[in-house]
Amino acid sequence: MLKRNMTLELVAKFEEYIRKILRNKEDGNLDKAITLIDDTFKEIFRLSLKFFNSFSDESLIDMIKSGGSINSDKCIMMAKLLEEEGFILELQKKENESFCILLKSLNLFLEACLNKSSDSNLKDYFSDINSIINRVKEYKLPLYIEYKLIDYYICEHKYDKADDIIFETLEFDNFSTTSIKSALKFYEDLLLKEDSDLEDGNLPRSEIANSLSDLKTKLNN
């Protein structure tokens, strides 16, 4: 009970900071908003914003692991703060910096979403994922993020979007044996689903069967 109360207090403190950050961003006080993001990181994680900007994606995820499992709420907090920093950098016309920070945010959001716990208090922030995707989709994304996006779209029953990324990874890898085998597993797993589910995900069984046939032909040539 004590742990639960401490978690709720931390969530309340985080959401109060977010309200202040958003208010200052909307009022055009961008430097103040960045300062508040820095303050929030120091308050919750005991490290400044510059450290989080310099850490690798893997290191950021390691920070919020406990006993091998991800702390969903802390992962979401980190992702949301970096998202707001990325949007502010975009407003400041710092596109390259914004892209790098938004990638960090997206990776954390995807990690939290794919490993979400039922008792997470901040699941509503997962709705931000599509907004970030729209900001970065014009660029070539790292493969490890593309693979997480595939898993995310499968979880969201957006099979057509997962299919689009599968094809992009195949092209990028020049239809290597490894990438083809990975794609074959994706389509074979989809065939186990109900027709109604596939139709809802905008990827009918016939289209999956055609993709499987084409890939098997490439694999055997």
Burial of 112 (0-12, 13-18, 19+ CB in 10 A): buried
Q: Residue 102 in contact with residue 57, Cβ under 8 Å?
A: no
45 part of a folded domain: yes
- Number of folded domains that form the chain: 2
Query: What percentage of the chain carries pLDDT values higher than 90?
Result: 85
Q: What is the pLDDT of residues 15-49, one digit of tens each?
A: 999 999 999 999 999 999 999 999 999 999 999 99
**Same domain for 200 and 112?**
no
**Same domain for 8 and 64?**
yes
| HSE-up (13 A, CA, CB side) for residue 154 | 17
pTM reported for the whole predicted model: 0.92
List Cα–Cα distances, 208 to 173, 177, 196, in angstroms.
20, 19, 14
Instruction: Tell which of 138, 166, 191 closes a domain.
Output: 138
Q: What is the mean pLDDT of residues 191-210?
A: 96
17 part of a folded domain: yes
The mean pLDDT of the chain is 93
28 part of a folded domain: yes
Top-confidence residue, 68 or 194: 194
87 part of a folded domain: yes
Burial of 160 (0-12, 13-18, 19+ CB in 10 A): middle
pLDDT value of residue 18: 98
Q: What is the mean pLDDT of residues 77-97?
A: 97
Instruction: Tell which of 79, 114, 138 closes a domain.
Output: 138
**Same domain for 24 and 132?**
yes
Alpha carbons 74 and 108: distance in angstroms, whole number: 10
Q: State which amino acid sits at residue 159.
A: Y
**Same domain for 130 and 184?**
no
144 part of a folded domain: no
**Same domain for 72 and 97?**
yes
List Cα–Cα distances, 200 to 66, 101, 160, in angstroms.
37, 33, 10
Top-confidence residue, 30 or 218: 30
Q: Is the pLDDT of residue 3 over 80?
A: no
Instruction: Tell which of 110, 138, 166 closes a domain.
Output: 138
Question: What DSSP state is assigned to residue 140?
Answer: P
Q: Can you name the residues that pair with 66 across neighbouring β-strands? A: 69
162 part of a folded domain: yes
pLDDT value of residue 117: 75
Q: What is the pLDDT of residues 157-187, one digit of tens each?
A: 999 999 999 999 999 999 999 999 999 999 9
Q: Residue 219 in contact with residue 180, Cβ under 8 Å?
A: yes
Q: What is the mean pLDDT of residues 107-133?
A: 92
What range defines the domain where residue 175 resides? Answer: 151-220
